[in-house]
Amino acid sequence: MALMIQTIPLQLENPFHLSYGTTTVRENVVIELPGAPGGYGEAAVVPYTGETAARVIRYVEDPAVAEAVRRDPLLLEDAIDALPPGESSAARAAVDIALHDRWGRTLGQPLYRLWGLNPTRCPQSSFTVAIADDEADYREHIRAAGTFGLIKLKLGSGDWRRDLHLVDLARDTVGSRFCVDANGGWSAEDAAQIIPLLADRDILFVEQPVARDDFAGWKALRETLPAGMPPLMADESVQGVASVPPLAGLADGINIKLAKCGGLRAARQMIALARSYGMRVMIGCMVESSIAVTAAAHLAPLADYADLDGNLLVSNDPFRGMRLDGGRLHLPDAPGLGVTAADA
């Protein structure tokens, strides 16, 4: 029996306008392991990373993947070790997630329980609001997000003064707490200007202030910013396990996403590594269905911050899993991921 492979078009509630550009639909790849007890996985196809559905499918159809998947469901580590590295970390994550789901289903326990984690210790998840061109629209989106106690504002509009204005508009609109994500849209000089002003505005953390490969920028910020600034969290600058050590001493923490690092096993290694450097940990997601977001949510009890709203940004999520209620994360109390088809 072969893996079930399906591309799912995820319709975005609001066009997602970031410093990279605008998208209205994403096409992710969902897989299901053959036979009982099965297991779901998902690869986020994020255009700005150069990912394509075709590349994901090529990986999943690799005979070496089929062979790894045929292994004993309880020997999870052996199966993951047998996966080819491939060129797509999102594709590897899909298979890793499905193998974890099957492992948990076979043992009859949710993943968080097999890892000994306390589901009531999840940090509050933020909800993301993208940049809008029109101020009235922006206020509308902020107001709609106001049920969340923590809102993540996408910045990096190209002008840090406009970014600061967006923060002030948002703070003026609802009483939530805010964090910001520049998606690498600032130069080190811009970041050094705006970050102290964000500190004055009680911003919880600042994500990816400078460009992905701008390590000189990270270093300059570390040297020039005064004490008492919000934590600087690396996102685009951190990908897999090997990308963590170079950021130690530069970023205050890392945003781990399964599609970047290749799955749950690598994510757990990154958490341990980050902690060994005294770094903070955020568990994030891409625009994804409930499969991949719920997989990431099982790690939330190990994190300081969670940004697990990816499935809430889409209007046609075909699956059900973890729930967010005003940002409070509820992990499903069911074996494996605890994800089911929405129409089941």
Give 101 or 236: the residue with its C-beta nearer to Mg ion. 236
Amino acid at 237: S
Q: Kindly state the smallest distance separating residue 28's Cβ from Mg ion, in Å.
A: 18
Nearest position to Mg ion, beta carbon: 235
Q: Which is nearer to Mg ion, 155 or 291 (CB)?
A: 155
Nearer to Mg ion, 30 or 180 (CB): 180
Please identify, among the stretches 8-16, 81-89, 233-241, 325-333, the one whose residues bind Mg ion according to the rule CB under 5 A: 233-241
Nearest-approach distance from CB 284 to Mg ion, in angstroms = 6
Measured distance CA(68)–CA(19) in Å, rounded: 39
- The phi, psi pair for 339, rounded to 5°, reads -100, 140
Nearer to Mg ion, 130 or 197 (CB): 130
Q: Toward Mg ion, which CB reaches closer, 30 or 211?
A: 211
The answer to whether 309 contacts Mg ion (rule: CB under 5 A) is: no
What residues are paired with 340 via a beta bridge? 320
- Choosing from 51, 181, 252, 288, the residue that interacts with Mg ion (CB under 5 A) is 181
In angstroms, the CA 205 to CA 9 distance is 32
Which of these segments, 5-13, 73-81, 174-182, 260-268, binds Mg ion (CB under 5 A)? 174-182
Choice between 101 and 181, CB closer to Mg ion: 181
Kindly state the number of chain residues that form the binding site for Mg ion, as judged by CB under 5 A: 3
What's the CA gap between 75 and 87, in Å, rounded? Answer: 24
Omega before residue 110 within 30° of 0, cis:
no
Query: Considering the complex, what minimum distance in angstroms separates the CB of residue 319 from Mg ion?
Result: 23
Q: Which is nearer to Mg ion, 96 or 207 (CB)?
A: 207
- Strand 127-129 with 150-154, pairing: parallel
CB of 235 to Mg ion, least distance (A): 4
Pairwise CA distance, residues 185 & 21, whole Å: 12
**DSSP type of residue 203:** -
Inter-residue contact 145 to 129 (CB < 8 Å): yes
Sequence-distant (6+) residues with CB within 8 A of 108 are 335
Residue type, 158: G
Q: Of 34 and 47, which has the nearer Cβ to Mg ion?
A: 47
Tokens 């940049």 sit on residue:
131
- Binding range to Mg ion, per CB under 5 A, among 65-73, 144-152, 230-238, 316-324: 230-238
Residue 193 in 3-state DSSP? helix
At 114, give phi and psi (nearest 5°): -65, -30
CB of 154 to Mg ion, least distance (A): 8
Binders of Mg ion in range 190-229 (CB under 5 A): 207
DSSP bridge pairs for 41:
31
Least distance CB 76 / Mg ion (angstroms): 29
The nearest distance, CB 244 to Mg ion, in angstroms, is 16
CA-wise closest residue to 279 among 260, 308, 254, 258: 254
Residue 317 is a binding residue for Mg ion (CB under 5 A)? no
Site string for Mg ion, 97-136 (x = CB under 5 A): ----------------------------------------
235 binds Mg ion (CB under 5 A): yes
* Shortest separation between residue 129's beta carbon and Mg ion, angstroms: 13
Nearest partner of 193 among 220, 216, 168, judged by Cα: 220
Residue 40, amino acid? Y
For residues 163 and 235, which CB has a smaller minimum distance to Mg ion in the complex? 235
Query: Minimum distance from CB of 156 to Mg ion (Å)?
Result: 10
Q: Give CA–CA dist 265/79, Å, rounded.
A: 11
Residue 110: both structure tokens together? 């949710």
Binding site for Mg ion (CB under 5 A): 181, 207, 235
